[in-house]
Structure formats: structure tokens, C-alpha cells
Structure 1
Amino acid sequence: MAVAVRDAGPVAEVRKPLRFSGVTFAYKDDDLKVSYTLDNPGTAQGRGQTCLWLHDDKGVVIDTLTLGVFSLKGGTSDTFQDHPTVARKFWKQARSVQLFTTTSYCQRSPPEVTSEMLHVLTTGQPVPPGGPAPRNVEEAQVEDFALSNVELSQDEEGTGYFITYTVKNLSGRRASGTACLRAYTGEGCPCHVEETLSGEFSLPAGGSETIKDQIFFDDEKHWDDVKVLRLFASATGCGDAADATNVGFKIDKPDAFREPRELTDVAGEPELDPDNPDAVVDVPDERPVEEDEPYSDSPEDTGH
């Protein structure tokens, strides 16, 4: 007689932390090539994004980067190559790197990880025993930064404006942040007509840096209306609103700073970059060809 066997139902999927291997870094011209293999030892599908934290010689976070998204079936592995942009001054200060995956966001601290926390040197080699332990992100406060020597300048062609400033870390720990430049049509007007990021920085305790950055407005015609600009320094730059504790550094716009003029060709038309039709470029005038001098491609005339 047959014996009925009870159906146990579907087998539960098992989630296990993802693992990294074969990690290498190659840095050139602000481009960081990160190569690595992800292994999913569980049976459940793994999804999320890969994160990279840069740490200084004390283990403090210099910068947080999002590398890319992934989807990895249980029991499989895959190799990835990502190219995040990393400022040279940040990479030069970095001594170690943390890699991990998450289903949240890479700036979260402490991170919500779905993988091992791999801590390696910037060469990709393991961190020697006894080195500083990597810390979580400590967000800087507005009062950690002081701005000074703020100046506006114009290029020789009159087609672009720049801001130069010195930012100092007043706190007793490393502080990272971004500058935000906001433009106003009057001193008493609370609403800015333009805002633009104006440089990023990561400074050790008591450290300072002088930064020069080009100013880009969404609408260059606003230069004619703007009377006052304010430069702000905070953890997230333009992500932090101006308020009583974040008043910024006031700059009165010089009268000469108007809408940047366009460079024109001999026909009076703006010269356009063929690779970027929205950009105006300076193209030297070509010498006119003499009508009575016929073109020749013979070796004697061309030199080839």
C-alpha cells in the first residue's frame, strides 16, 4: 500500500553576506578604476549597490562613493569594473579603502551592509595588522568651517567668471564638505536666483585649503540682475539651506560683472564647439585663400 508523503513546501532561500575578491585600483586624472569580483554564497538573489569609502591615516572617512548597482543570483559570482570620479587631493590623502554592498545608500552611517566589509590599502593589498581601524562617517557641521579671502575674477576673454576662497577646518577632527555659491538680486531678498556648487574639500583638524572654481549659472543673463552673492560651506553644500546658523560669506557683485559676452567670428556669429553646440569657443580666423593661387597636392607644394 502506498504511503502518502507530506509536501514540505518550497525550500526557504538562504541569504549570506556577499564576498569580495580580486580587488584592484588604478588612478589617473581623477578617474579611479575599481575592479573586483562579487561572490554570492547564499541561495537568495543578491541586489543592491556597491560602495567605497576612502579613509585617511587615522581611519577617518575622507569621501564616500557609489560605484554601481548589481544583481547576482545565489551561488554565482561576477566581475565588475567601475569608474568613479575622485578628486586627486582626496586620493592623495587616502591610505585605505572600505568596500561593501548595501540596499540603502552609500553615505548612510553606520552603513546597512549586505556583504563583508572589506578593508584594504589603496594598492588593493590587505591592511597590515595594528593599523588604524576604519571609522564610520562623521558629518561635518556648519560651524566647523571658516571662509576667508573670497574673491571674484574674470577671464581675459570676458567669457567666464571664477571664485577663489580659503576654507579652514576649525574643528578638532577631519571635516569634509562642499561650497555652494548662491546669487541674489538684492541684500534683503531671501530667495536666490542661482545656486551652484563651488568646490569640495576634506581637511584634517586645523587644516586649510585655497580653492579656485569656475562659476556656472543656469541662466547667464542673471548676472545682469544679481547684486549680492553668498558663499556657503557645509557637509552637503547646496543641500543645506541658508538660515540663521548658515548665513554664508557675503560678496557684493562688481558692476563690471555682467552677462558673459560671446566670442564671435568674422561674420558676427558665435563660434560653437562642434562637440558641444551650447559652448562658445574662440576659433582663430583663417587666412583668406588667394584666388589666383591654385591649390596643389603635389609633393613639392605640400612637403609630403
Structure 2
Amino acid sequence: MTSPISVPLIDTEPVASVLRILNLSPLDEDVFTAQSLPQVRRVYGGQVVAQALLAAAATVPDQNRLPHSLHSYFLRGGNPDEVFEVSVERLRDGRSFSNRRVVARQGEREIFSMITSFQATEDGLSFASVAPEVAGPEELSSALELFRTMDHPVGKFLGKTAAFDVRHVQSSLYTGADPSRSGDQQLWMKIRSDVASDTPQVVHRALLAYVIDQVMLEPALRSVGLSWLTPGLSLASLDHAMWFHTNVNINDWLLFCGHVDSVGGGRAKARAEVYNPDGQPIATASQEGMIRVANPDHGANSRWGFNS
């Protein structure tokens, strides 16, 4: 059986729970089982991306080769109460790159697929964009404070279980829309408890993939005057691509700069750049998602659970 990547554990919740579910269990050669965190309705997409990335990394013989890109599709909503299987196909191990295909299944149903590529650190030509000048995290309000004061079970659930502190530069979308209808947003995120110093770099990258999914489509909501409280809102990730430009320190405050490219046809396309505290780009992501608003006269509530 293939040995999974060892994710160092900590005792402090809620980060401890995230690290536990990133520790996969070996089932067969290049096959693992994975569990889910408690969710309101379906398996969180970022969780499956992170688990699939770690499953793929476990099959790369040269552990100096780190993931530099991934391209994934969310095929079906997974049941968070059921264990699922993550299988890896070794596509290629070349002189510079390794490529893997990963499929996650619950029973006979494929719920997720991904192709990812690995490369060892290499010197060469260099250029990098610079982070925009925005207010720092110490100047901004934490979403955790808002969640804890919400008189709603989902808000209280997020206040206890959210593993990352989120601080929006613009107004957040948790309780209302942005009247500016801007297609851009910036926010800071930091893990609520530091991971151990011996945590492998691939785990840092997996944790970034884990958390970025939760904010990818916010610029789309912002641009069309929606919020997480919009009655009848239905939102789901369809595909997700990500590129890692350099090493990630998930213990840092990271700046996420999001942009919406288009909204239409029941879909939205958005992208995000991630910068470290020194203003250096560490990752880029792109995602298309389903975005629909049911007729409120039909009595539909937000599938994200903020509505009573």
C-alpha cells in the first residue's frame, strides 16, 4: 500500500480537525480513504482539492518535487457523512515534471477529478507582480466577530468551526450586498492556529488550496449585488484551477485579490491572486461556478444556510 503524506497534528481546534481529515488512510496501491468535516449540506470543495493534492503527492517518488499546478472538476456534491475513496493514476515521471490524475468516489459515483503537476525547485528567469496597496489585517474587522454575534445557527457554527480568520478590505458579503457592485475585492486570511514547524511544504500548499475555494466566487456575488443572505441563492463550484509560484507559509497573513471575469448563463467565472506579507505572489487560482437565484415567491432560501 502507498503511504500517505504525514500531516503533523496540533491540539487547537478548529484547525486540529482540518489537519486530521488531511491525514488520509491507505487502502491499496495509490488508493486512499478520506473523511469530511461536518458541513451544512455537502462536502466542501476545497477540502476535496486539498485531499486529492496530498494523495497525488504521496505517489511522487521524489519528495523534492512539489505541486505547481492543478486542474479539477467538481462532478457531484459529496455526502459529508460518508467516507470516500481517493485513487491516483501515475501518468508520467519525467526528468523535470511528474503528472498525476486523481479521482474521488463515494460508492460507485465519481464526485471529483483532478490532474496535477509536480516540479522540483529550479533556477531561471524571474519576474513577479506586486501586491496592491491595501489596509493591513490589523486595521480590519474579523469575520469571526460577526459570526459569533449572528443570531442564527449557521453563523454560530462558522464562528466555532472556521479554521481561518477572514478580514475583508471592502465590506463583507455575510449580511448584505455591496452597493458599489464592484467586480474586485481584497481580503486577508490567516490560519487560526499555526501549523507545526516541521509541516511539509506540500501540506502548506494543500491548506491554501483548502481555504481559497471559500472566497473564489465572492467577487461574482459582489458584482451583481448579491450576498450570502440573498433569498434563493444557489452557488456551487464547477471547476477549479490553481498555480503555485513559490513556497507558501500558511501561518502568514495572506492577501487574496479577487476579480470577476463574467457572470451569465447561470455561471460565473472568477480568479484570484494570493500574496505573502512581503507583497510577493505565491499562488493564482481561477474558478467557474454555478450561480442561480430562485424566485423568492417560490419560498426558496439560500442553500448556504444563512436564511431562517
TM-score category of the 2 structures, normalised to the smaller one: under 0.3
User: Which is helix-richer, 1 or 2?
Assistant: 2
Task: Give me the TM-score of the superposition, normalised by structure 2.
Answer: 0.25
For the pair shown, the structure with the greater C-alpha radius of gyration is: 1
Task: Give me the TM-score of the superposition, normalised by structure 1.
Answer: 0.25
User: Which is strand-richer, 1 or 2?
Assistant: 1
